[in-house]
Amino acid sequence: MANAGEFDRPVGFEREGITGRNALNEPVDGFALIGRAYAKRIDVRDTEKVAAGFEGRALMARFRVRSTSLTRSLTPADRLIESGVWDGGGVLQSGVIWTIKGVKDAAGPRRDVIEVTAVTAHEG
């Protein structure tokens, strides 16, 4: 079982869909918050990035989160927001946007942790 103290980074998950309507009552597409969790961030080494075909300034990391119905439903169509701040309507105000590349059960006998691999162009 994972140590609760390892999960020290607040993250949010967003899914793309219709987020509202414009002045002409046309649907507006965008990302909306679907849930939050605490994660452990593990930066991927440069050698692993090259082997995976990622080059340049993009950062790649693995985020480990508790296995829940939300985290088990994540796909590469969703995105992860690190240290995100959302307004009352669930619209992102600030945070680091990570593009999800893969989601899998982390190794372990209990399968209580999900590992999300993601990339971002953010340097901080």
The reported pLDDT for the residue numbered 56 is 66
- pLDDT-based confidence at residue 109 (cuts at 50, 70, 90): low
Q: What is the pTM of this model?
A: 0.79
Q: Using CA atoms, how far apart are residues 84 and 36, in angstroms rounded to an integer?
A: 9
Which tokens sit at 83? 């240290």
The reported pLDDT for the residue numbered 116 is 97
Q: What percent of the chain is modeled with pLDDT above 90?
A: 50
Q: Using CA atoms, how far apart are residues 63 and 68, in angstroms rounded to an integer?
A: 14
pLDDT at 122 over 80: no
Per residue in 46-89, pLDDT (tens digit) is: 666 666 666 666 789 999 999 999 999 999 999 999 988 878 77
Closest by Cα among 76, 69, 56 to 16: 76
Average predicted confidence (pLDDT) for the chain = 85
Q: What percent of the chain is modeled with pLDDT above 70?
A: 81
For CA atoms 112, 117, 118, 119, give the dihedral sign.
positive
Please name the residues in contact with 4: beta carbons below 8 A apart, sequence gap of 6 or more: none
For CA atoms 11, 63, 104, 37, give the dihedral sign.
negative
Assigned fold of 4-120? Thrombin, subunit H (2.40.10)
The reported pLDDT for the residue numbered 76 is 96
Q: Which carries the bigger pLDDT value, residue 20 or residue 4?
A: 20
Q: Using CA atoms, how far apart are residues 50 and 89, in angstroms rounded to an integer?
A: 39
Secondary structure percentages of the chain, helix, strand, coil, to 5: 10, 55, 35
The reported pLDDT for the residue numbered 121 is 76
pLDDT at 6 over 70: yes
